[in-house]
Structures are given as structure tokens and as C-alpha cells.
Structure 1
Amino acid sequence: MTEIFSEIDDELRRERLQKIWERYSAVIIGAAVLLVVAVAAWQGYAWWSAKQADEAGTAFEQAAQLATEGKHAEAEAAFTALAANAPSGYRTLARLRAAAEAAARDPKAGVPLYDAIAADGSVDAASRDLARVRAAGLLVDQASYADMLSRLEAATNDSNTYHHAARELLALSAWRSNDPTAARKWLEMIAADETTPPSMRQRAEALQALLPPAARS
């Protein structure tokens, strides 16, 4: 008797499974197909991304070699092309290198390229600050202190990656603009910062010695 009931239960289960399959087979098959397609698409994208990164790396090395050989115009063009077409990991770095190569042949040509990077909200904060400092470095001999201050003051905070360079540039700009009070402000900030690099500290001390007596700390 037990075997009969067991056979009946098995038959009922088979009937239920058959009904479920008849009702949902299209959905099950569709889901399986989508899974296979998704896996294939992901593998294809991973392969494509790796290929793009490899090609960008090779192009970057070739552009860097042009720069090493002193072919700044060619290197700038190569880095500019790379910045337009490379994966995001290379894009900002290529833009920075293109600006550097432009500045190597003509400092005035590098400034707008650095300024464009600094103003681009899609670029990471550290790279934007670096571009801001490098542009200011190209302008320090000709820009007014007010212009330099507007460019760099926000970058002088301790939390900024390039605050040491920003402070030094502002101190130098203030000194060149005959503003000893402003120069002393930045030089004292450099001196008080325990993380100031030794070489920069020495330069700051030398500049401090050039200030008129009334402006010395």
C-alpha cells in the first residue's frame, strides 16, 4: 500500500513539474539565454578594455620617447591625440603631458592647457590642483600678485596635495610685486609647516633674507 501512495505522489510531482515547465519554459529559456549573452558581453568588454589600455600604454610610451628626444611639438601632438581617444586612466595624464610639452616650446602656450584641466570638473581634484600650480609656475615672472593669489590661494590649504608649491609661488610673486607683507605671510607659513621639504625651507629662508627689515619676521 505504501508503494502505491509513493507512486501516486511521484506521478503528481511529475504532473506539477510538467505544468510548471509548460507555463514557464519560455521564461526559463529566455533567462538562460540572457545569462549566456550577459557573460559573453562582459567577457567581450573586458577583452576590449584590456586591448584599449594596452594600446594606450604603448602610445603613451611612444609620446614620452618623443619628449625625451626633445621633439616637443610632436610629443604634444601625440599626447593630445591620446587624451582625446585613450581610456580614462590615461586621459588626464596625457593632457598634463601635452600641456608640459607645449610649455617646453612656449610657456605661454602651456598656460591655457593647464587652465583647461584645472577648470574641468570631470578631472580628479589632485590633477586639477597640479594643473593650477603648474600654470601659475609658468606665470610667476609676469602675472600680478593679485592674479597669482586668485589662482593659488585655495591650493594653499594643508589638505591640498600641492600646498607647499602654492605657498612658495605666492611668496615669490609677492616679493616680485614689492609686497613684503604678503611675502612674509607665505614665508612664515612655509617656515611653520613641519612638513615643508628641506630644499624649499632653504629657499624660503633665502628669500626672507631679501625682505626689507620692517617686513622680516
Structure 2
Amino acid sequence: MSELFDEVDEEVRREQLKKLWDRYSIYIIAAALLIIAAVAGWRGYQYLEAQKAAEAGAAFDAALDLAEQNKHAEAQAAFDKLATNAPAGYRMLARLRAAGEVAASDPQAGAKLYDELAADRSIGTEQQDVARIRAAGLLLDTDSYPNMLQRLEAATKPDATFRHTARELLALSAWRANDISSARQWLDMIASDGETPAAMRSRAEALQALLPPVAKS
């Protein structure tokens, strides 16, 4: 008797499933097709993005080759094109390199481009700091110490990525301006930072030796 009930239950379940399928099959098929289309679209998008990145990488390498051959105008044009058309990461790198190519022939113009990058929050804080440091390096021989201080002071904080370079540039700028007190301040900061690179520490010690001795009270 129990086997008969089981057969009846199985038949009822089959009938219910058939009714459900007859009613909703079009929706189930449509949903399955949508999932397949979405996966295919995503795969296609990933493939296209990978292709774009590969093409941008090859174009970036070609622009670097031009720069190494001292073909600065051609390299700048190549980097400018990448800065407009390449994926986001390459656009930012291309803008930095384009500014460097301009700086090779016109430091003031290069510094201006770096300043524009330093003011662009869309490229990220670290990239802004790179641009800020490079602009300051180009202007070290011509800009005043107060201007250099305004440019770089925020980059000298203990947690700043490029604090060592910023401090060295400020020490050099103060020394050139004959601001001995400020030069010593930055040199002392370089010396007291345990993470200061060895080469920079040596340069700071050499510059420290050129300063007049501290007056005794």
C-alpha cells in the first residue's frame, strides 16, 4: 500500500512541475539567456580592456624608447597621445612623462605641467606628491626659499612618502638663500630620521660640514 501512495505522490509532483514549467518556462529560459549574455558581455569587456592595456603598454614603451634616444619632441607627442587615449593608469604615467620631456628643454614649462598634475586630485595623492617634488626640483635654482617652503613643507611630514627628497630640496634651497638656520633645521631632520637613505644622509652630512658652527651661548 505504501508503494501505491509513493507512486501517487510522485505522479502529483510530476504534474505540479509540468504545470510550473508550462507557466514559467519562458521566464526561466529568458533568465538563463540573460545570464549567458551577461557573462559573455563581461568576458568580452575584459578581453577588450586587456587588449587596450596591452596596446597602451606597447605605445608607452615606444615613447620611452624615443625619450632615451633624446627625441624629446616626438616622445612628448607620444606621451600626450597616451594621456588622452590610454586607460587610466597609463594616462597618469603619460602625463608625468610628458611633463618630463617638456622639462628637458624648458624647465619652467615642465614645472608648470607638474604643478597642474600636483593640483589634480583625480590622479591620487602619491602621484600628486611625485609631481610636486619634480616641479620643486626643476625650480630649485631659480625659486626663492619661501616659495619652495610653501611648495614642499606639507611633503616633509613624518608619514609623507617623499619626505626625504622634500627635506633635502628645502635644505639646499635654504642654503642657497643663505638661510643657515633653516638649512640646519632640515639637515637635522634628515639626520634624525632612521629611514633616510644612506646616500642622502651622506649628502646631508657633507652640506652640514659647509655650514658655520653653531654659536655657543
Moved more, 90-99 or 181-190: 90-99
Letter in 2 for 1:76: Q
Partner residue in 1 for 2:118: 118
Letter in 2 for 1:177: A
Q: Secondary structure at the match of 2:122?
A: coil
Partner residue in 2 for 1:73: 73
Q: Secondary structure at the match of 2:8?
A: helix
Deviation at 1:10, TM superposition (A): 2.0
Partner Cα distance (2:197, 2:3) in 1: 88
Letter in 1 for 2:54: D
Partner residue in 1 for 2:53: 53
- Provide TM-score, normalisation by structure 2: 0.93
Partner residue in 2 for 1:94: 94
The number of aligned residues is: 216
Partner residue in 1 for 2:155: 155
Q: Deviations over 1:8-53 (max 9, x none)?
A: 2122111211221233223211210111011110110111011001
- Provide TM-score, normalisation by structure 1: 0.93
Deviation at 1:215, TM superposition (A): 6.8
8 Å contact kept, 1:184–1:215: no
Partner Cα distance (1:69, 1:111) in 2: 22
Partner Cα distance (2:135, 2:181) in 1: 24
Q: Deviations over 1:165-201 (max 9, x none)?
A: 0000001111112211111100111111222222212
Letter in 2 for 1:121: R
Partner Cα distance (1:202, 1:95) in 2: 33
Partner residue in 1 for 2:39: 39
Letter in 2 for 1:31: A
Partner Cα distance (1:182, 1:105) in 2: 32
Partner Cα distance (1:214, 1:4) in 2: 108
Partner Cα distance (2:188, 2:215) in 1: 11
Answering whether residue 199 of structure 2 is matched by residue 199 of structure 1, we say yes
Answering whether residue 21 of structure 2 is matched by residue 21 of structure 1, we say yes
Deviation at 1:96, TM superposition (A): 1.1
Deviation at 1:211, TM superposition (A): 2.3
Partner Cα distance (1:215, 1:205) in 2: 19
Answering whether residue 106 of structure 2 is matched by residue 109 of structure 1, we say no
Deviation at 1:59, TM superposition (A): 0.2
Aligned CA RMSD, in angstroms, stands at 1.6
Partner Cα distance (1:4, 1:191) in 2: 93
Partner residue in 2 for 1:6: 6
Partner Cα distance (2:156, 2:6) in 1: 82
Partner Cα distance (1:63, 1:119) in 2: 25
Deviation at 1:159, TM superposition (A): 1.7
Letter in 2 for 1:103: A
Moved more, 84-93 or 184-193: 84-93
Structure 1 residues not aligned, in runs of 5+: none
Partner Cα distance (1:117, 1:26) in 2: 55
8 Å contact kept, 1:73–1:105: no
Partner Cα distance (2:177, 2:26) in 1: 79
1:166-205 matches, within 5 Å, as 166-205=166-205
